[in-house]
């Protein structure tokens, strides 16, 4: 997962017998898109058409749906551009420039520790962003820490705030095989969605787009995946990995497993409840299974053995002045882990978990935005700094629908887990609940809040602190009731955990650079990366897994019962569909959550698929990449063209793609 300014062109050309150059790299960068839904996409026409995954547009399809029209269940097809619908709150960004601001950022925190360190760093980063992008709504600037603070880079993007849904297949086909097949292979998912960038109300002009191919992928051929992988933690120290394994993951897994059960319970109350719960259930099941894969990886002794050995090697490399200057950052991080274990639950349940409820999320950020905007940008919580405020405003003022039954479940659930993990008598529990039960409090707050109405949110946003203080919305009042304590827990967390960890990581990054030079890719940071690999299966427990599935296999796997149920359109097309087309395939590319929707590009720079998943071993990629086992799963463009034509008959889309295939 290399950054575009440090891609090892020479190594790749040598290994694969290619002659890729900077122009090739620039072209791919310009055709790679980051979506605010936490996904990636590729530009596939000169009119702003994007190919991504269905699970990257499902939230949009769900938002556009109603009890009468369910675009998730039935799919979303357009015959002409006027039918394309704005995805509420969705934005897209294309990277235009990377520059190094390490010296500037590091200078701002020289000699500082704790809270002061965090504040100074945030202030400098947001200041750099604001200086570079100003208030231009078509640009987005972000200071990105790479190598855990070994480098700071300013990433500049062209930003699109009007992204529309063009095509989504039925959820049953996009997620064919459902949770049971998720992260497994052989796989038969049409995890595909098309979006379009709009600019001033018209389709955006995107001269840099990827050429479409209907060629079948071949075993062994080189594949490049260009996307924005969200988060890996390969540079965590051993003590941090232990915290992940023993504290963070067990809590997350237990909460996700129960929430999954609750959401299934909600779904069973009736079809409209089922519709409303669909994308949350998908996301929780997906997150749970990711956690299973990560926990599995962390339980394998070789992983820790290798991490321990590397830590030893880095420590041993320290000599003389450097050693005196650096000290023992691993020990500093271990000390911060003790604080992590002490402070995690109160911080998590006051500052993070309640955000599961959309209404509470709105209330908290309306309250805080009003308070923070009274201060100079550099003194605010960083998410409210001038450079980041537009993102926050867009998120709060996007016309999202709030489904009250779902929101009540989510709020009640997090409140009840707060009580369970903090204990009935903890001061934080008393603050959260008073004498109320989680369920009754959640019902009261959700039922009586008006924040589901975007006009109410707009009035409160624009009215500032006076409007907030005058509001009688119970969710606003509840957010205010929690705020001082939640901020205090956050400040303590940043002071005692975040700051010492960042300071120590900067030092460890210096040691790494000293030992390895620039020959390593930084951990994923939800910024554009390029990974190289090959079409390849794998071998596990003595069994060879082939890298391809074919369209005929989809029909063979269908049982008539969810999640192996074909949509009526697919059933109807069985006789005409080409069973020999490669449907899904696997590659050795290194990816991570956030890479979903990454264009899979062949050696000629042509689009041959859209990355949508990894195998179960790939989930351990959070902590280290294992070339033997980690695989990326891709929907082939050949299959996409075939189904658009024979199953969906959406000729405008196939025409546009053919044009781009010249």
Q: CB-wise, 353 or 499, nearer to a copy of itself?
A: 353
Element (H or E) spanning 475, and its range?
helix 474-493
Within positions 549 to 578, which residues make up the interface with a copy of itself, using CB under 8 A? 559-564
Contacts of 543 (CB under 8 A, 6+ apart): none
Binding to a copy of itself, residues 31-70 (CB under 8 A): none
CB of 267 to a copy of itself, least distance (A): 8
**SS3 labels along 334-370:** HHHHHHHHHHHHHHHHHHHHHHHCHHHHHHHHHHHHH
Of the candidate residues 292, 431, 488, 661, the single one contacting a copy of itself (CB under 8 A): 292
User: How many alpha carbons lie under 13 Å from residue 283 in its C-beta half-sphere?
Assistant: 14
Which letter does DSSP use for residue 109 in this model? T
Instruction: Tell me the two tokens of residue 423.
Output: 């204990």
Element of type H or E holding 98:
strand 92-100
Minimum Å gap between C-beta 515 and a copy of itself is 29
| Residue 110 or 543 with smaller CB distance to a copy of itself | 543
The structure tokens listed for 137 are 């709504």
Give, in order, the Cα–Cα distances in Å from 284 to each of 1, 108, 268, 269.
26, 40, 17, 19
Q: Compare residues 106 and 257 and give the one whose CB is closer to a copy of itself.
A: 257
Please say which residue, 179 or 483, places its beta carbon nearer to a copy of itself. 179
**Nearer residue to a copy of itself within complex by CB, 84 or 181:** 181
What would the x/- binding string for a copy of itself be over residues 294 to 313, using CB under 8 A? -x---x--------------
Minimum CB–partner distance for residue 559 and a copy of itself (Å): 4
Write each residue from 421 to 460 as x if it is in contact with a copy of itself (CB under 8 A), else as -, in one continuous string.
--xxx---------xxx--x--------------------
Nearer to a copy of itself, 86 or 335 (CB): 335
- Minimum distance, C-beta of residue 528 to a copy of itself, in the bound complex (Å): 34
Q: What are phi and psi of 559, to 5 degrees?
A: -115, -10
Compute the least distance from the CB of residue 379 to a copy of itself, in Å. Answer: 35
Instruction: Say which DSSP state 208 is in.
Output: S
Q: What character string, x for contact with a copy of itself (CB under 8 A) and - otherwise, covers 382-421?
A: -------------------------------------xx-
CB of 103 vs a copy of itself, minimal distance in Å: 42
CB 536, min distance to a copy of itself, A: 20
| Spatial CA neighbour of 29 closest among 78, 95, 98, 102 | 95
| Shortest distance in whole angstroms from residue 426 CB to a copy of itself | 11
Nearest distance from C-beta of residue 475 to a copy of itself, angstroms: 20
Least separation in angstroms between residue 42's CB and a copy of itself is 30
Cβ at position 273, least distance to a copy of itself in Å: 10
First to last CA, the chain: 30
Nearby residues of 509 by Cβ (< 8 Å), 6 or more positions away = 147, 148, 149, 150, 151, 235
Which tokens go with 13?
């050309």
Interatomic CA distance for residues 649 and 628, integer angstroms: 40
Who's near 338: CB < 8 A, 6+ residues apart?
none
CB nearer to a copy of itself: pick between 220 and 560 = 560
When the beta carbons of 422 and 582 are compared against a copy of itself, the nearer one is 422
Contact letters for a copy of itself, residues 453-492 (x by CB under 8 A):
----------------------------------------
Paired tokens of 512: 């790494």
Select from 353, 444, 439, 365 the least CA-distant residue to 400.
365
Distance, CA of 116 to chain centre: 29
- In sequence order, the β-bridge partners of residue 203 are 198
Distance CA 442, CA 437 (A): 8
Site string for a copy of itself, 182-221 (x = CB under 8 A): --x-x-----------------------------------
Q: Based on the shown chain and the rule CB under 8 A, indicate whether residue 338 belongs to the binding site for a copy of itself.
A: no
Site string for a copy of itself, 164-183 (x = CB under 8 A): -------------x-xxx--
Dig out the tokens for 305 from the structure: 């053995």
- Helix (H, G, I), strand (E, B), or coil: what is residue 484? helix
List the interface residues with a copy of itself, window 239-268 (CB under 8 A).
246, 250, 253-255, 257-266, 268
C-beta of 422: minimal distance to a copy of itself in Å? 10
- Of 290, 195, 298, give the one whose Cα is nearest residue 624: 298
For 633, the enclosing helix (H) or strand (E) is strand 632-636
Shortest Å distance, C-beta 299 to a copy of itself: 5
163 vs 442, beta carbon nearer a copy of itself: 442
Distance CA 221, CA 217 (A): 7
Angle at 105 between CA 103 and CA 108, to 5 degrees: 105
Closer residue to a copy of itself in complex, CB, 47/181: 181
Least separation, in Å, of the C-beta of 366 and a copy of itself?
Answer: 28
DSSP-derived letter for residue 39 is E
Reference 414, options 494, 348, 364; nearest CA is: 348
Residues that contact a copy of itself, how many (by CB under 8 A) = 42
Distance CA 639, CA 585 (A): 11
Binding-site ranges for a copy of itself (CB under 8 A): 177, 179-181, 184, 186, 246, 250, 253-255, 257-266, 268-269, 288, 292, 295, 299, 419-420, 423-425, 435-437, 440, 559-564
């Amino acid at each position: 997962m290399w950054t575009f300014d440090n891609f090892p062109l020479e190594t790749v050309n040598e290994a694969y017998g290619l002659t890729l150059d900077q122009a090739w790299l620039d072209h791919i960068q310009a055709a790679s898109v980051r979506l605010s839904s936490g996904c990636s996409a590729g530009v596939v026409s000169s009119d702003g058409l994007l190919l991504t995954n269905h699970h990257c547009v499902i939230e949009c399809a769900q938002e556009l749906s109603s009890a009468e029209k369910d675009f998730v269940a039935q799919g979303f097809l357009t015959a002409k551009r006027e039918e394309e619908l704005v995805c509420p709150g969705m934005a897209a960004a294309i990277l235009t420039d990377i520059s190094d601001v390490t010296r500037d950022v590091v200078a701002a925190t020289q000699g500082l520790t704790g809270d002061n360190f965090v504040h100074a760093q945030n202030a400098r980063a947001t200041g750099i962003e604001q200086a570079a992008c100003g208030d231009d709504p078509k640009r987005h600037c972000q200071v990105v820490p790479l190598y855990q603070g070994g480098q700071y880079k300013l990433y500049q993007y062209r930003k699109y705030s009007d992204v529309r849904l063009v095509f989504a297949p039925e959820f049953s086909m996009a997620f064919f095989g459902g949770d049971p097949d998720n992260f497994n292979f052989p796989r038969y998912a049409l995890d595909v969605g098309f979006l379009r960038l709009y600019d001033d109300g018209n389709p955006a002009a995107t001269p840099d787009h990827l050429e479409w191919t209907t060629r079948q992928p071949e075993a062994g051929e080189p594949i490049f995946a260009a996307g924005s992988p969200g988060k890996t933690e390969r540079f965590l120290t051993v003590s941090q990995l232990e915290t992940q394994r023993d504290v963070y993951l067990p809590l997350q897994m237990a909460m996700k497993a129960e929430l999954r059960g609750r959401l299934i319970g909600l779904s069973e109350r009736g079809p409209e409840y089922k519709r409303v719960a669909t994308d949350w259930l998908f996301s929780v099941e997906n997150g749970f299974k990711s956690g299973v894969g990560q926990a599995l990886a962390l339980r394998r002794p070789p992983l820790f053995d290798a991490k321990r050995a590397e830590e030893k090697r880095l420590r041993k490399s320290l000599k003389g002045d450097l050693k005196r200057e650096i000290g023992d950052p691993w020990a500093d991080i271990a000390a911060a882990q003790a604080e992590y274990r002490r402070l995690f639950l109160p911080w998590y349940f006051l500052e993070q978990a309640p955000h599961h409820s959309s209404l509470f999320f709105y209330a908290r950020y309306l309250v805080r935005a009003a308070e923070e905007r009274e201060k100079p940008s550099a003194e605010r919580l960083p998410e409210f700094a001038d450079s980041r405020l537009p993102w926050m405003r867009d998120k709060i003022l996007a016309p999202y629908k709030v489904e009250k039954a779902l929101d009540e479940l989510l709020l009640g659930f997090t409140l009840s887990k707060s009580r369970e993990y903090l204990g009935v008598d903890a001061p934080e529990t008393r603050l959260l609940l008073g004498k109320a039960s989680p369920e009754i409090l959640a019902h009261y707050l959700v039922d009586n809040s008006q924040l589901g109405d975007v006009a109410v949110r707009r009035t409160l946003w624009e009215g500032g602190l006076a409007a907030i203080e005058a509001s009688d919305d119970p969710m606003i009042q509840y957010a205010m009731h929690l705020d001082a304590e939640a901020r205090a827990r956050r400040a303590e967390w940043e002071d005692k955990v975040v700051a010492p960890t960042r300071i120590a990581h900067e030092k460890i990054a210096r040691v790494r650079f000293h030992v390895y030079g620039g020959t390593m890719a930084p951990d994923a940071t939800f910024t554009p990366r390029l990974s190289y690999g090959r079409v390849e299966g794998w071998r596990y427990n003595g069994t060879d897994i082939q890298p391809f599935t074919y369209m005929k296999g989809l029909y063979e796997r269908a049982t008539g019962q969810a999640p192996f149920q074909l949509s009526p359109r697919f059933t109807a097309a069985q006789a005409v569909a080409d069973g020999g087309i490669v449907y899904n395939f696997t590659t050795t590319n290194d990816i991570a959550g956030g890479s979903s929707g990454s264009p899979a590009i062949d050696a000629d720079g042509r689009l041959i698929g859209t990355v949508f998943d990894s195998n179960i071993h790939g989930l351990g990629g959070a902590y280290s990449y294992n070339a033997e086992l980690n695989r990326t799963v891709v929907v082939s463009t050949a299959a996409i063209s075939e189904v658009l034509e024979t199953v969906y008959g959406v000729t405008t889309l196939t025409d546009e793609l053919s044009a781009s295939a010249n």
